[in-house]
Amino acid sequence: MTFTTKIEHSIGYITINKPPVNALNSSDWISFYKNFEEQAFNEEVKVIIINSEGKGFCSGADLNEHKDLAIEDRIKVSEKINDGVWKLVQAIERSPVPVIVNCSNFVVGAGMLVAMSADFILAESKTQFKLPGINFGVFAGISNALGLLPRPLVKKMLFTGEPVFAEELIKYGFILAVCNDKNALVKDSFELAKKISAHKRDHLSILKSLILENKNHSANLKKELNASINALKSLD
């Protein structure tokens, strides 16, 4: 299974597990979204932790799904991927409960969008964050990144496609904590979730909605995803 879920002590868990690099196809993104919605609107859940198994957190969209297709079919698949990513990112951003993302090793493309949409990012030491869309004509994540990081750094990431490491990103408040290893990452995120879950779900939801009023990149993300499709169409 690509995703496993559980609920323990008012904490919802979603774990990505799709070897070798957690690259997700169009069906996976919709499944991710549905799994997340089930957790977010379960009255038992007060906070959600998104984890991963394997080599890294998420390498983004699975490019193998459409690399050998004719252009019109590539467009259809890309639109399906964008729809799933859009729904998931919007669901995380607008979730009625706080969301924690545990990042390890690599966080790429749409995987980085997942992280940026959460309330808290924790990362293993040496984890690299990367927006390589310039290499593929994909322009998603601009607004999210600009809202969280200095503009010159974001421009460098976008125009070069090169990674930035967790040790640098924590300087800007992008990451809450950098942990020595995966065990420490899991432990620290659990301790944070436990503190959050001690409060009433209704109070958490009210606070989340008030914070959202001051952070909503979803509208701009929709434009960015559409720009990616237009770039693909220009190849036809």
**Single pTM value for the model:** 0.91
Neighbours of 148 (CB within 10 A): 18
What's the distance, CA 126 to chain centroid?
A: 18
- Give CA–CA dist 130/108, Å, rounded: 5
Give the β-pairing of 47-52 and 99-103. parallel
Residue 20: cis peptide before it, omega within 30 degrees of 0:
yes
Residuewise pLDDT in 10s, the chain (236 residues): 899 999 999 999 999 999 999 999 999 999 999 999 999 999 999 999 999 999 999 999 998 888 888 888 888 998 999 999 999 999 999 999 999 999 999 999 999 999 999 999 999 999 999 999 999 888 889 989 999 999 999 999 999 999 999 999 999 999 999 999 999 999 999 999 999 999 999 999 999 988 887 665 555 677 777 777 877 777 66
- Name the CATH code of domain 3-183+196-233 (choices 2.120.10.30, 3.40.50.300, 3.30.559.10, 3.90.226.10): 3.90.226.10
Residues 105 and 126: their CA atoms lie apart, in Å, by: 7
